[in-house]
Chains A and B, each alone.
Chain A
Amino acid sequence: MAFRGVLSDDLGPFQRVMERTGELALFTVTFFRRFWRPPYEGRELVNQMDEVGTKSFVLTAVTGFAIGIVLSMQTRGTLVRFGAEAILPSALALSVVKEIGPVLTSLVLAGRLGAGMGAEIGSMRVTEQIDALEVAALKPYHYLVITRVLACMLMFPILTIWTDSLAMLGGYLESVLASGMDYRVFFNNAISALRFHDIIIDTMKTGIFGFIVAIVSCYLGYTVRGGTREVGQATMQAVVISSLLILLADVVLVRLSITFF
């Protein structure tokens, strides 16, 4: 199935954006039409989960740990002025679990994975490897796209929990150094501030962010035309567009979660 329109050369900038948006929508619809049909690329899905997950553990750990420390330092200054230092663990837990953890993890992963997927699939396109998969009846959409999208949808929430945990650890260490807070007090306060659905809903929304990153990056790589310059552009666009869409989707998802939960 061709996802790249044949009229592109004749279009102006606005029409081109509209055409590309339509193609992305078609690419997305194709995912939902095909992901439950064979062939099921189980081994490649595991490979991609390793690529997305295991190889992002250090990056997200450092991100989480640093956020925890910085948030704790910044929040402490404000809370001390109001004599409310005791609510620091709760404030930290709420801000990390509900918003900063999911969004920042997703943005960091969009940078790493969006660029990687855009470049890898784009290179495969311009070197005719995707055509080679197609003529060998190997269903490249299943092999390249569906596996990556599913891997991101599964691994983003897991990595978010990991980042959140490291952020809380960072916040705790900062609190110990700054005020000698006991770990039982810190973690009891932090956990008691969270409701079950705070954790579930706000962590699970990163599955949608993972979907956005993967589908946008795969689309841009899959439809590259030209050579290395165009692959570079697709890579850059994959990061920029997925990051913007994550932020926009977050607005919608937060609104929906406030409305329904």
Chain B
Amino acid sequence: MPEPSTPSAPAAAAAPPPPDTIIELRDLHKSFGANHVLKGVSLSIRKGTNAVILGGSGSGKSVLLKHLVQLLRPDRGEVWVCGKRMDLLEGDALDEMRLSIGYLFQSGALFDSMTVFENMDFILGRHTNLTPGERRARIEETLDWVDLRAKAPNYPAELSGGQKKRIGLARAIILEPQILLYDEPTTGLDPISVRLVSELIVRLRDERGITGVAITHDLLCADIITDEAFFLYHGRFIERGTLEDLRRSEHPLLREFFGE
């Protein structure tokens, strides 16, 4: 049976996290009917680091990530992003916060009725006052960054899986967010593409200071990008630390996960 939901504490009563903490979850609970997916998850992520949430299928990783942009609302608990209670925001205030967060979807989620260029211009045109020429320049610069400028006139259906991820990444950073959320950024890619996408994630942290939160079960990707790792199992973190800490853990689930 799901635990009964209680109202979230009012914003005034909750102390914000310290300034160097860009994301903080406190005692997060989420149920879907009788399925209690998150059972009191808490975590803090420092500015300018890449955090990776590991875990098997059905452990609640995607549900957790969706709470960070409020695609899902918690039944209980607090979601702090950039010093604000995301879970209490609605309407325009929530949209304003979302602009500081980019999201790379597992499938890329490119708008398939638009070309690559239009996918990016669509977002840029609605959230900035740039002239068409300035928008074009920024889009070309961003596509250069993922090395896919030549694909600007193509439709998503004409791209490979790895290209879709990289274009998705370019679209996610077009508004220069402070935080990027990666939902299985390398799933379904060949090892070369995994390395390519993972190195882009590292460059985003190093060159632009973007904080990353990735959910993955791809260990090659995790090896490349992780500063801090969390292992989620049945809605609870059972281990946290560096990736090495998790590898050295004696917990049988972690030993099984890392294939030891």
A137 touches B103 (CB 8 A): no
Which residues of A sit under 8 angstroms from B218, Cβ to Cβ? none
Which residues of A sit under 8 angstroms from B105, Cβ to Cβ? 128, 131-132
Which residues 108-157 of A sit at the B interface, judged by CB distance below 8 A? Answer: 123-124, 127-129, 131-139
Q: CA–CA, A137 to B73, complex, Å?
A: 16
A127 touches B33 (CB 8 A): no
Q: CA–CA, A138 to B110, complex, Å?
A: 14
Q: CA–CA, A139 to B99, complex, Å?
A: 12
Whether a CB of chain A sits under 8 angstroms from the CB of B96 is yes
Whether a CB of chain B sits under 8 angstroms from the CB of A39 is yes
A128 touches B106 (CB 8 A): yes
Whether a CB of chain B sits under 8 angstroms from the CB of A6 is yes
Whether a CB of chain B sits under 8 angstroms from the CB of A182 is no
The chain A residue with its CB closest to the CB of B34 is A10
B106 touches A129 (CB 8 A): no
Whether a CB of chain A sits under 8 angstroms from the CB of B101 is yes
Whether a CB of chain A sits under 8 angstroms from the CB of B245 is no
CB distance from A9 to the nearest CB of B (A): 5
A9-B33, A131-B71 as given contacts; A139 in contact with B107, CB under 8 Å: no
Which one of B35, B71, B98, B106 contacts A137 once the chains associate, using CB atoms below 8 Å?
A: B98
Whether a CB of chain B sits under 8 angstroms from the CB of A7 is yes
Which residues of A sit under 8 angstroms from B31, Cβ to Cβ? 6
B71 touches A9 (CB 8 A): no
A6-B32, A10-B33, A10-B34 as given contacts; A132 in contact with B126, CB under 8 Å: no
A7-B33, A9-B32 as given contacts; A127 in contact with B71, CB under 8 Å: no
CB distance from A1 to the nearest CB of B (A): 9
Whether a CB of chain A sits under 8 angstroms from the CB of B69 is yes
Which residues of B sit under 8 angstroms from A133, Cβ to Cβ? 111
Which one of A9, A129, A137 contacts B109 once the chains associate, using CB atoms below 8 Å?
A: A129
Q: CA–CA, A123 to B112, complex, Å?
A: 10
The chain B residue with its CB closest to the CB of A5 is B33
Q: CA–CA, A8 to B99, complex, Å?
A: 32
Which one of A7, A128, A137 contacts B96 once the chains associate, using CB atoms below 8 Å?
A: A137
A39-B126, A129-B111 as given contacts; A134 in contact with B34, CB under 8 Å: no
A128 touches B109 (CB 8 A): yes
The chain B residue with its CB closest to the CB of A41 is B126
Q: CA–CA, A83 to B99, complex, Å?
A: 75
A128 touches B33 (CB 8 A): no
Which one of B103, B110, B126, B127 contacts A135 once the chains associate, using CB atoms below 8 Å?
A: B103
The chain B residue with its CB closest to the CB of A136 is B123
A132-B103, A132-B109 as given contacts; A138 in contact with B123, CB under 8 Å: yes
The chain A residue with its CB closest to the CB of B111 is A129
Whether a CB of chain A sits under 8 angstroms from the CB of B3 is no
Which residues of B sit under 8 angstroms from A7, Cβ to Cβ? 33
Cβ contacts B68-98/A at 8 Å (1 or 0 each): 0101010000000000000000000001101
Q: CA–CA, A8 to B95, complex, Å?
A: 28
CB distance from B75 to the nearest CB of A (A): 10
Cβ contacts A1-45/B at 8 Å (1 or 0 each): 010001111100000000000000000000000000001000000
Q: CA–CA, A129 to B110, complex, Å?
A: 6
The chain A residue with its CB closest to the CB of B75 is A6
B95 touches A137 (CB 8 A): yes
CB distance from B164 to the nearest CB of A (A): 11
The 10 closest A-B pairs by CB, nearest first: A137-B95, A132-B109, A128-B109, A135-B103, A128-B105, A137-B98, A135-B69, A10-B33, A6-B32, A9-B33
Interface pairs (26), CB distance under 8 Å: A7-B33, A9-B32, A9-B34, A9-B35, A10-B33, A39-B126, A127-B107, A127-B109, A127-B112, A128-B105, A128-B107, A129-B111, A131-B71, A131-B103, A131-B109, A132-B103, A132-B105, A132-B110, A135-B69, A136-B123, A137-B95, A137-B96, A137-B98, A137-B99, A138-B122, A138-B123
A10-B33, A128-B109 given; name 12 further pairs at CB < 8 Å. A127-B107, A128-B107, A129-B109, A129-B111, A131-B66, A131-B103, A131-B105, A131-B109, A137-B96, A137-B98, A137-B127, A138-B126
Residues of B within 8 A of A (CB): 31-35, 66, 69, 71, 73, 95-96, 98-99, 101, 103, 105-107, 109-112, 122-123, 126-127, 175
